[in-house]
Amino acid sequence: MNRSGLHAQSGLSRPGWIRRHAKHLFLVLSFLVVASVFWYLKRPHGLMAGNGGVADLLAGHAGGLITDLHVTQFDQQKTRWTLDAPSAQRGEEKQVIIHHPRLELTLAGQEPVVITAEGGVVDASTGRMEFTGRVEAGDPATGRLMTEQLRFDPEKRILYTEQAFRLERENMRLEGHGLTLEQETRKLKVDRHVKMIFPEAILTTEQP
């Protein structure tokens, strides 16, 4: 008799518990939906690996190797940049070491900026890249940029270096140390030791 009474009481308490907590459950679900929408709108731009080997490379041990690397970053089905390399290795943590990379930055209505180098490193968690060894970058509007080290920040959409560089155009050559190039506007900022060389005259401006 007592057992039946306890069982009936326990059974009746379940709908009451659900009613008491339904409001909280609804609020939690609503929060999750809003958070999901916010993440979708603010999420990092998607990466698509053409050969499907990047995930396996990152999941493997340090020193693992893949060939024919092809990675594309897209934003609402529009390509933002494409990275190609004949081979890549797993580095420390989430770093990918790339050999003879070629990065193409695309922008609607403008010629793409193409970067080539002997080697480079990609941080798989942030997408930031560093190119080293005989780095060349440019497009018809910007000119031909040459340096030994160049970094790309995909979130800020800038190319930058702290090292010496040379930028060649048809009627001018610009040299200096430290450079920032905005991908969207093609605005160029030079930090120090600026030298501009023209075919018939030389204008030199030194900054501390």
Same domain for 34 and 93?
Answer: no
> Residues 107, 103, 75, CA angle at the centre, nearest 5°?
45
Same domain for 120 and 146?
Answer: yes
Number of domains in the chain: 2
Give the 3-state secondary structure of residue 94.
coil
Same domain for 4 and 69?
Answer: no
Q: Which pLDDT score, from 0 to 100, does residue 32 have?
A: 46
Same domain for 57 and 25?
Answer: no
Same domain for 199 and 141?
Answer: yes
Give how far Cα 138 sits from Cα of 32, 34, 168, Å.
44, 42, 9
Q: Which pLDDT score, from 0 to 100, does residue 161 have?
A: 95
- What backbone torsions phi and psi does residue 200 show, to the nearest 5 degrees? -115, 0
> Partners of 69 in the beta sheet?
85
Same domain for 36 and 98?
Answer: no
Same domain for 23 and 58?
Answer: no
- Among candidates 122, 175, 120, 170, which has minimal Cα distance to 146? 175
d(CA 118, CA 99): 6
Same domain for 12 and 79?
Answer: no
Same domain for 30 and 103?
Answer: no
At 69, is the pLDDT very low, low, confident or very high (cuts 50, 70, 90)? confident
Which is more confidently placed, 7 or 103?
103
At 180, is the pLDDT very low, low, confident or very high (cuts 50, 70, 90)? very high
Same domain for 27 and 127?
Answer: no
* CATH number of the CATH domain containing 55: 2.60.450.10
Beta-carbon contacts of 156 under 8 Å, excluding residues fewer than 6 positions away, are: none
Q: Which pLDDT score, from 0 to 100, does residue 18 have?
A: 54
Same domain for 24 and 71?
Answer: no
pLDDT in tens, 117-158: 999 999 888 889 999 999 999 887 778 999 999 999 988 989
Q: Which pLDDT score, from 0 to 100, does residue 185 have?
A: 82
Same domain for 158 and 96?
Answer: yes
Containing structural domain, residue 26: 1-43
